[in-house]
Structure formats: C-alpha cells, structure tokens
Chains A and B, each alone.
Chain A
Amino acid sequence: MERYYQEEIECASRETIKAIQDEKLVKQVRHVWENVPYYRKKMEEKGVTPDDIHSSDDLYKLPFLSKADLREAYPYGLVGVPLKDCVRIQSTSGTTGKRVVAFYTQHDIDLWEDCCARAITAAGGTNEDVCQVSYGYGLFTGGPGLNGGSHKVGCLTIPTSSGNTDRQIMFIRDLNATILCCTPSYAAYLGERMKEMGLGPDDIPLKAGIFGAEAWSEEMRQDIQKTLGIKAYDIYGLTELSGPGVSFECSAQSGMHINEDHFIAEIIDPDTGEVLPEGSEGELVFTSVDKEAFPLLRYRTRDICSLTREKCSCGRTHVRMMKPKGRTDDMLIIRGVNVFPSQIETVLINHGYAANYQIIVGRVNNTDTLDVQVEMTPEMFTDNMGEIAERQKQLVDGLKSMLGIKAKVSLVAPKTIARSEGKAVRVIDNRKI
C-alpha cells in the first residue's frame, strides 16, 4: 500500500494545486518586489510589476534568475528577510565554480524537511525504520536535509555522514538500517566494498535507498538494486531551492514528483528562454512560491529534462520530472556534439562493465579527443587477448552509436579510478580554450 507523508496535499486535485500555486505566487512576487532589490531591478528592466501577476499563468512575464545572478548577488543580494530572521545557511558543493550560499528561516527549514519526509515515506519509510544518512553533513544540503526528513517521519536516524566505508557497513548490519541515503556513486561503492568483504544482499537488512545529488542512469539503478538487494529511489534538489526533496520518486520509479505546493516547474528552450509545452525536453526552471529567506523566482537549473502530468500509479497528483540527463554544466561539447556522462555510463553498464569510469577530454591539433577509461573487472577479464580486444571494440561501437562520435576506450586496472564519498568526479577536461 502506498504511504504518504501529507496525503491531502500530495494527492490533491490539479485544480487545488493550481489554486495553491496561484495564491502563493502572487504573494511571493510582492514579497520579492518589496524585499529583494536585486530582483526588483530585473523586473523593472522588463517592465513588470507585481500588479501584472494574477496567477501562475502570468509566470512567463517574470525575468529569469541564473547561477550568474547568484554569484553576482553573493552573499546577501537575494536574501528576502532581515538576517535576524534567518537561522541557517547551506552552500553548494562548488562542483561547477564559485559556491552559492542559500539562507533559511525556520519556516524554510520546516518546509524543506517536509519535502524530504515525503520522499522517505514514498520510499516506504515509517517510524519503524532505521534510516542511515550517509550524505555529507555540513554545508552540503544532502546530510541535513535527509536527516531532518528522517526525524519528521520518525525513523531512528543514524547520522554517519559520508566516508569510512567499513564503519558504514558495520552500522547498517549492527543497527539494522533499513533505509540508506547517499549519492548513487557512493551506494555503488558500498556494494563493491561489501562484495570484497564477502557480503551479499542477504547479509544486510536494507530495503530501500534514496540516492541523489548527481546524475545516474537507469542501468546504474538496476546494478545498485541487485548488489544491495534494495529498491533504489531517485531524489532531486538544488541548494538554491532548499536542497534534496524538490522532487522525489515514488513506488512507480517513473519520474520524480515535484513538490508543487512549494515549487512551480517550467521547461524552457535553453537558447531562447521560451516556455515549451508539456512533454518537451528542455531546461528546467523553478519558482519557489513560499520560501521566505531565499525566494528565487524563475531560477534556471541548467538541468535538461521533461515534465509529465500523466496520472501516476502511486496516487500522487504532483507533476513528474523525468530523470535529468545531466546538468548543462555536466554536458560536454565534443567535436560540436553534446555528450552527457550519463549516456556513457549507460553504454558501459549495458556492455557488462562497472560504473567506475572517467572521461578525459583533450584537444590535439584543434580536434577534441574523448577517452573513456573503464576499469577491468574479474567478470570481464579472460586470458584470451582477442576476446578482450573484441569486447573493447564492441564498447567503442556502442559509444559511437549512442553519442554519434568516436571515443577511445582504455581499459585500466581495478581501483585506479578514485572512489568518491560524495559526488563522483567523472570528467577531466584538459582542453585549453
């Protein structure tokens, strides 16, 4: 039976959701106009005032915010309340340039933790569960967000934070953890370490995992589910909007429900900024309609995905976003072709390799080079040189048909690609442009 944390809102009719959004948006635009001069100026430049915004249908009139705006306004330029009303900051992991600092009032923390509690409940969590949070705690939102959500659900929470893998496995086994929260690459690494220790899925009590903070493929999900003997749920979020829990997967594992009572989602053409019809693939844009301290309107996430309002078997009515292919910042342009690391991951796993890989981009004689390094595994190794070379060639062909460009595949020794406890470093771009 599907469980909900806040059934009334999670399963509300589309009309109710729209009415909530309309009301909150009108209020939020006025709040921002009055308290965030940085955004007010942007509105004035576009010739828009709060009087032009009557409902979410008028959203398109508002100017966009980008990561560049956040950097420009750093640190206080987008804060919407006096600092005495703020109780916390969190910060991005800084994987793509300068850090972003986000502010929270107690109300903001509460609604963020509600979102995480919805995600944990959707993964089957109740107050009978033991939830191990192996996301990093600190400035990174992963640990604090899921920790708060886990408390709200009433799970016994194990705040291991990231790292010390053998201790993670010990706690899972000794304290009977049933839910694991961490990045997918760390979940895969835990599975790998368990195998080395001679432990299989039956040796651990885990039943569900909530994995996010980086792009991962469906194939990687299948792998993790098998190795850990769990159901693996995707969770999505951005520090700029609160953290994990902006959207989350339900039992259908078919797209992530966006918490629409707090966030309005749009898909736009990343080049023109034009809003695209439902189902189109484009850049995801979020408007946070009830955050006080850091009220971002029309924030461009740089994530490429699509939305669907098709009825979900779980009973939730909130719009679903399909798994982002990756951030536009993760996207590589190689010989003029868009390449996402997640596409490469899909091909690797389909060809029997593990998700331990690194992508090295270079430039020789003004031509981009793409080198995919993948670790040899006992399963893929044979004494037959010709067979290894043949599999390598099949992989090159598979990458060619997925990406449309030729990549070099290098087989490297096990454990030579560094394991990550947080976000995996998949790409090394040596091009000097």
Chain B
Amino acid sequence: MSIKQISVFLENRPGKLKNMTGVLAQAGIDMRALSLAETKDFGIARIIVDDVFEAVNVLKEADFVASLTSVLAVAVPDEPGGLDKLLAYFNEAEVNIEYMYAFLGGNDAKHAYMIFRVADTKAAEAKLSGKGLRILTQEDIAQI
C-alpha cells in the first residue's frame, strides 16, 4: 500500500529548484507534495506526483539524478489533535519515523495527508493495519 516518492538531487544554489519545477511543469506533471532537505551545498527535493513514471523519465532526460523511495501516505482528519492521534498509533506499533511532511487534500477538504518515511515500510504497514487508518495507494494519489 506504500507509494513512490521521487527524490531528486539538487545543488544548493539559486535557480536549481526552479530548473526542476520547470522540467515537471513542461511535462504537465501535477505535484501533490514537496519537501526539501538541505545541507550547505546540496539538497534533496522529495516529491509526490500524479504520474511517477513520466516524472522520473523527464527528470532523467534533463540530466537530474533521481531515485524512488517507498513512503506511507496516511489520511488524517483536518482538526485539532488529528496528527497527535495518528502518531499515537505509530508509537504503539513502535514504528520510528525518519522524516515526514504534510499536504492538504485537493477535493477532500476534511483531510490532510501525511507522508512518512520509515525504515521498513512493509513491516510498518502490517503493524498499522487494522487500526482504522486510511493508507493511500498510488491510484489514490493520482486521483486526489
């Protein structure tokens, strides 16, 4: 049930992020979520898109280094305490989170979505199943 996140290597210099978004824009790729991690001289852009295959292709053609990473996308009610409840499940299941970021759902105003990177995606999924969580598939992402 995990989804694919595209990780893109970027130099930490003016215009580099814009180069990447330019390539995606040209190809008509719709981004669902974006998160940046950076050091002083380089960064990684982590993106969730509607068409993973096409996005990776156009990025590689434009000489970007990109790789795919499995992440969990989980729906969370957009209300006070929503994330806290969700993290309680992670706690209970003893799943360690490497990093996470959020985005708001397009047509669904009642939910936000959290992207989680964990060490073992499959094991985490098994532990979190049956808790009434809505874990999104790649198709869900394309249709949001």
Contact = CB atoms under 8 A, between A and B. Distances in A.
B84 interface: no
B7 A413 contact: no
A84 interface: no
A433 interface: no
Interface string B22-42: 000000000000000101011
Contact of B67 (A383, A411, A414): A383
B65 A383 contact: no
Contact of B44 (A383, A410, A413): A383
Contacts of B16: 413
A169 interface: no
Contacts of B10: 413
A415 B63 CA distance: 7
B129 interface: no
A272 interface: no
B67 A381 contact: yes
Contact of A383 (B42, B46, B63): B46
Contacts of B117: 383
Contacts, number: 45
A414 B39 contact: no
B65 A376 contact: yes
16 contacts: A376-B9, A378-B65, A381-B7, A383-B7, A383-B67, A385-B37, A410-B42, A411-B9, A411-B41, A413-B10, A413-B16, A413-B63, A413-B65, A414-B63, A414-B64, A416-B11
Given A389-B39, A410-B41, A411-B42, A382 B67 contact: yes
Contacts of B66: 381
B69 interface: yes
Interface residues of A, number: 16
Contacts of A337: none
A397 B64 CA distance: 27
B65 A414 contact: yes
A377 interface: yes
B118 to A, nearest CB: 12
Contacts of B39: 385, 389
Contacts of B46: 383
Interface in A373-416: 376-378, 381-383, 385, 388-389, 410-416
7 shortest A-B CB distances, which residue pairs?
A: A383-B7, A383-B69, A415-B63, A381-B65, A376-B9, A411-B42, A414-B63
Given A414-B64, A415-B63, A381 B37 contact: no
A254 to B, nearest CB: 37
A416 B39 CA distance: 19
A413 B11 contact: yes
A378 B67 contact: yes
Nearest to B71: A383
A196 to B, nearest CB: 9
Contact of B9 (A389, A410, A413, A415): A413
Contacts of B5: 383
Contacts of B37: 385
Q: Which of B10, B42, B64 has the most CB of A within 10 A?
A: B42
Contacts of B69: 383
Nearest to A382: B67
Contacts of B11: 411-413, 416
Nearest to B60: A378
A381 B65 CA distance: 7
A98 to B, nearest CB: 36
Contact of A381 (B9, B41, B63): B9
A385 B40 CA distance: 12
B100 to A, nearest CB: 14
Contacts of A416: 11
A198 to B, nearest CB: 12
Contacts of A381: 7, 9, 65-67
A385 B41 contact: no
A410 B11 CA distance: 9
Contacts of B63: 413-415
